[in-house]
Structure 1
Amino acid sequence: MKANWQDSEQWFQALFEHNPNAAIVFDEETRRIESINRAAKILFNYREEIFRTLTLSDIIDTDPPRLCDAELRREIRAFRTMAGAVFTSEIAEGKFVFNGQSKILWIVREMDNQSDVEALLRERKVQEYRSLVENIAIGVTLIGRDMRILTLNRQMRCWYPRIDFSRQPLCYQAFNDPPGEKICTYCPVIQTLRDGRVHEAVAEIPSERSVRYFRIVASPVVDKEGNIRAAIEMVEDISEQRAAERQIRTLSQQLLTAQENERLMISNELHDSVAQDLSTMKISLALTLGESSTLPDDVRKTLTDMSSILSRTIRTVRNLSYDLRPPGLKEIGLIETLGSYCDEFAEDAGIHAEFHSTGLKNRAMNPFLEINIYRLVQEGLNNIRKHAEARRAVIFLIGAYPNVILRIEDDGKGFDVAAREQAGFSEKRMGLSSMRERVNLLMGKMSIRSRPGEGTRIFIRFPFRDGLSDLSEI
């Protein structure tokens, strides 16, 4: 047994000594060189007794790398000989334990030409990218032209642990529960495979009795001739983000609903109490002026002035009540209420205002959607009155299933859209910003087209919700 062990030790010693590449053993902690072979002596031109007094920093032309715990690592390093000559070599690194201490073995292979260096650098770069893709928190899948999964990273395997990807299943079957029978309608991969461009989509994908929301970006993989060979699908799980957005949207809706309820209460109080009391006072003054012929002229004049002030105050209170809550919205509906509001706006502001509607006749609309459309028109016309210097405004409300389209146009002085949006907060012109926030709450989109001297067009589109829809779905 002892003889066999001694023979084995001699065999490994001979293998180490006669290796054609330089072999260096050093201590991991101190980096002091402890053993070298014949090729190392020749390559570095050091005698063995001098070599054993050196550390890595004495023979490496750059700072030594931070050593890792991997069993084997390859890299390129620049070394110095005893005479100071610098040469480039490939290092294969291994780690072992001897007498309870960690040791590192370097096999140093001198690279004869630049092509060897470039090839190793390319290989190292590929390994780095492969490691990055494998360990990134975003799912990455390589999908062939036949929609089969060629390979995928650790994150995708973690999301779908029960799928055997070694058989290269079809992606629309592997990534859906139950498995899909045909290519998903939203699929950006099939679009990328067709036109070679990057496509993006957000998808709801069933998974183990729940629904996940994924943001999917597909990029083409082309060969040297420019032919599309496959597509890289990058998948980000945005389920938590969607849940947070729904919660924020619900809270915002509740806040707006509470605000509208408070406005309704104040509106009713102004109309039914304050305005009525003021009207009673005006009637009493009128009776006093009509019945009493003995009033002094100055008293009569004072009462007449008071009656005029009361008339203006009553009109102001009623206008304020109507602004807080349109009185006909519930009784006569959104279309008629907006038509009346535009007529009143034209009379009050001196701006010709037109209202046109199509596609929404006899359609029951969600009350939350109705009041927000009303507020958008209200804010849009107020912006025109304050800033546009317009002579004409036109409102279009169109039902184009599955959307509702609102357009607000004027022939005013116009403005620089980008500059105004950037300066909107500092200038306290919050009309456009508040409109955009309201549109976002309705899951809609708003665009503005305007140029100085060419008027303004606001285009708003949001999904239609009928009268039975739950507000939480908006």
Structure 2
Amino acid sequence: MTTAFRRAAGVMRNPHLWAILALMVLFGVIYYGDQIGISHWALFHGRFFSGGYVHDLHRALFLCPLIYAALVFRTRGALLAAGLTIAIIVPRAILISEYPDPVLRSVIFGLLAGTAAVLLGIERERRQRLSAEIARRRLAEQGRAQLAAIVTSSGDAIIGRTLEGIITSWNRGAEILYGYSAEEAIGRHISFLAPPDMSGEMDHLLEGTRRGETVERYETIRRRKDGSLVPVSLTVSPIRDENGQITGASVIARDITQRKQAESALKESEARYRALFENTSDGIIVRDLEGNILMANRAMAELTGYRVSELIGMNIAQLLAPSSLERVHEKQARLLAERDRPSTERYELRLIRKDGVQRIGEAITSLFEGQDGTICVLATVRDVTEQREARENIRAYANQVLRAQEEERSRIARELHDEALQDLASLGLELDLLARDDGRLPEETLRALGKLRERVSAIMDGIRRFTKDLRPPMLDELGLAEALQWMVDEVNAQQKSLRVSFETSGTPVRLSPDKELLLFRIAQEALSNVRKHSGAAAATVSLVFAPEGVTLRVHDNGRGFRVPEVMGGSARMGKLGLIGMHERARLLGGTLRIESEDGRGTTVTVTTAP
């Protein structure tokens, strides 16, 4: 119903329909002109509407819309227009005309005119069908020619054969693939292309063709003219005639040598990577972004205490301490935000084994895209528990050594102060007493005693400076800022070619004695390096107190040097003082940064919590 309505609406929108109806109305008005009085209009002449057979002329006008309808709407249009014409002219002949034979003439005219219009419509349809058939055949010929060209120029081997397997067509692609020319192949049975041990396969394909079966992407082996074997992918389709009867088959063969080689290489590569995955000493897991483990190797199973089958499907939250899990999530978020930048950053994790024991792992993670397009995480974890424990033992030992050094410095400073200085002071007093001996000593002896007294005083000053260097008393009494100011003053007094300034900012606070001593030693070592190696004319020691921590900075304008990338390189370069500063900063729980360039000076910055 809806389709018929849409078709009728489409016809009603056709402008030719309304043009034909307008002509029908116009000629109807003329046909009935003398009844409606238009014969008296100035536009018409009275003779056009008078006389016995004048209405024959009026009826002839209806040939125009009849022909128009036949040309535009063909047979159906001609029939409808003829019926409408008869409906217009016959009533006048019956009801109005004064002549004896108007009905006969009107009917005859209607029949003849309608028949002519219908014949014209039929001829119009015939010509259109003929033109459509000619166009269809032309397109079919073009399609066949194009198909023949495609078959001929196709890179795939396309072979036509009968139901019995006799080759009837052989294109250029077949010549290239198999090495036989069309003259050599056409007329032969297609089985000559199969290796001797695969004749049964050929019979199976022939039988399938007789049953109308289509074979798609069937991979097999075929033999070339030179005897070599080539892997091919076959598509065998039955060929039917106009009656639907199977008359033969088309065989399309594609050389898949490169694909097979690629597949073989891929399998070998997968086998190598699988062996690497399984046999590496580092634990490896593959997981999704939610943390669910998809793959795991034996090393990971040994590290966690679970079997590989148990690890598959577990979530990493079951294997990590809470702080480590949070760090993994932060690392994953950075990787997702910077997917175009490869990551080689190592970070530590605390793994919880199946038996509850915690192990320390060093991890590297990266992202990759799985076969289904999902983003996966590849994590490599190395067990560094023993190394970390050994490192902590070494650091603890170094801490004890530094403490022992400081204690030994304090002991030596006390002994020098309490014993050596006291003895030298006594010696000085005795020399003073001898020098005041009422002139009984010769002048030359008195001068010698005076020089000896000066030497004793110089030795005492040196010992005092030495004891202060060993353990400055103002560090314990007045704090770090005063001790650093004293050290700067001592350097300025001893080194005339180097001017050192001291700056402090923020509200000074007292740190623990150990922290103040470690910061003092770092500043002492840095200034010692400035004096001995930098060739600087000026240096600055700054101490900044802030709520978030204390920052000590030593800067000079000397020649600078190349900072080793790792501290292990400092020992090889003979820069043991740098190692000492780093170790003291680590004992502080702070960070040490050394910035230097050739010719642009050096800056040593250490930051620690208050």
State the match for 1:69 in structure 2. Answer: none
1:203-229 CA-partner distances (Å, limit 9, x unpaired): 23444544321211111103699x871
In structure 2, distance between residues paired with 1:371 and 1:404 = 14
Cα 1:403–1:235 change in 2 (3 A) is farther
Matched, 1:134 2:278: yes
State the match for 1:32 in structure 2. Answer: none
Among 522, 526, 543, the residue aligned to 1:397: 543
1:59-105 CA-partner distances (Å, limit 9, x unpaired): xxxxxxxxxxxxxxxxxxxxxxxxxx99999xxxxxxxxxxxxxxxx
State the match for 1:355 in structure 2. Answer: 502
Contact kept in structure 1, 2:538 and 2:557, CA below 8 Å:
yes
State the match for 2:477 in structure 1. Answer: 331
In structure 2, distance between residues paired with 1:181 and 1:383 = 40
Matched, 1:220 2:362: no
State the match for 2:313 in structure 1. Answer: 168
- Greater CA deviation, 434-443 or 376-385? 434-443
Among 137, 151, 166, the residue aligned to 2:295: 151
Matched, 1:408 2:408: no
Among 459, 465, 477, the residue aligned to 1:319: 465
State the match for 1:277 in structure 2. Answer: 423
Count of aligned positions: 356
Deviation at 1:307, TM superposition (A): 1.1
Deviation at 1:346, TM superposition (A): 1.9
Deviation at 1:244, TM superposition (A): 0.7
In structure 2, distance between residues paired with 1:363 and 1:442 = 15
State the match for 2:326 in structure 1. Answer: 184
In structure 2, distance between residues paired with 1:361 and 1:163 = 58
In structure 1, distance between residues paired with 2:506 and 2:276 = 53
Aligned letter for 2:389?
A
State the match for 1:345 in structure 2. Answer: 491
Aligned letter for 1:257?
R
In structure 1, distance between residues paired with 2:309 and 2:350 = 22
In structure 1, distance between residues paired with 2:290 and 2:264 = 34
1:152-205 CA-partner distances (Å, limit 9, x unpaired): 22233341528985773442x22236xx59951454233223322424321234
The structure with more strand, counted as a fraction of residues: 1
Cα 1:385–1:166 change in 2 (3 A) is closer
Contact kept in structure 2, 1:257 and 1:368, CA below 8 Å:
no
In structure 1, distance between residues paired with 2:408 and 2:381 = 44
Aligned letter for 1:265?
R
Structure 2 matches for 1:61-460, cutoff 5 A? 113-158=257-302, 159-161=304-306, 168-171=313-316, 173-176=317-320, 184-187=326-329, 188-196=331-339, 197-198=342-343, 199-207=345-353, 208-222=355-369, 229-350=375-496, 351-358=498-505, 361-365=508-512, 367-398=513-544, 404-417=550-563, 430-440=576-586, 442=588, 445-460=591-606
Deviation at 1:315, TM superposition (A): 0.7
In structure 1, distance between residues paired with 2:424 and 2:313 = 81
Cα 1:453–1:195 change in 2 (3 A) is closer
Structure 2 residue matching 1:140: 3-state secondary structure: strand
In structure 1, distance between residues paired with 2:606 and 2:283 = 35
In structure 2, distance between residues paired with 1:401 and 1:154 = 49
Structure 1 residue matching 2:285: 3-state secondary structure: strand
Deviation at 1:270, TM superposition (A): 0.8
In structure 2, distance between residues paired with 1:435 and 1:399 = 20
Cα 1:233–1:166 change in 2 (3 A) is closer
Deviation at 1:149, TM superposition (A): 2.3
Contact kept in structure 2, 1:143 and 1:231, CA below 8 Å:
yes
Structure 2 residue matching 1:328: 3-state secondary structure: helix
In structure 1, distance between residues paired with 2:276 and 2:574 = 47
- Greater CA deviation, 354-363 or 384-393? 354-363
Structure 2 residue matching 1:274: 3-state secondary structure: helix
Structure 2: any 5+ residue segments left out of the alignment?
1-195, 198-226, 232-254
Identity across aligned pairs (percent)? Answer: 27
Compare CA radii of gyration and give the structure with the larger one.
2
In structure 2, distance between residues paired with 1:303 and 1:165 = 91
Deviation at 1:385, TM superposition (A): 1.5
Structure 2 residue matching 1:184: 3-state secondary structure: helix
Contact kept in structure 2, 1:148 and 1:168, CA below 8 Å:
yes
Cα 1:402–1:233 change in 2 (3 A) is farther
Contact kept in structure 2, 1:149 and 1:165, CA below 8 Å:
no
Deviation at 1:239, TM superposition (A): 1.2
Larger RCO of the pair (alpha carbons < 8 Å, separation 6+)? 1
Q: TM-score scaled to structure 1, two decimals?
A: 0.65
In structure 2, distance between residues paired with 1:245 and 1:186 = 24
Contact kept in structure 2, 1:145 and 1:193, CA below 8 Å:
no
Structure 1 residue matching 2:441: 3-state secondary structure: coil
In structure 2, distance between residues paired with 1:136 and 1:424 = 33
1:384-437 CA-partner distances (Å, limit 9, x unpaired): 112223332212234567665332101233344469x99976885643344344
Contact kept in structure 2, 1:193 and 1:231, CA below 8 Å:
no
Structure 1: any 5+ residue segments left out of the alignment?
1-41, 44-84, 90-110, 467-474
In structure 2, distance between residues paired with 1:297 and 1:332 = 47
In structure 2, distance between residues paired with 1:369 and 1:245 = 22
Cα 1:339–1:288 change in 2 (3 A) is same
In structure 1, distance between residues paired with 2:230 and 2:349 = 51
Aligned letter for 2:358?
V
Q: TM-score scaled to structure 2, two decimals?
A: 0.51
Deviation at 1:117, TM superposition (A): 2.7
In structure 2, distance between residues paired with 1:427 and 1:166 = 47
Structure 1 residue matching 2:468: 3-state secondary structure: helix
Cα 1:427–1:116 change in 2 (3 A) is closer
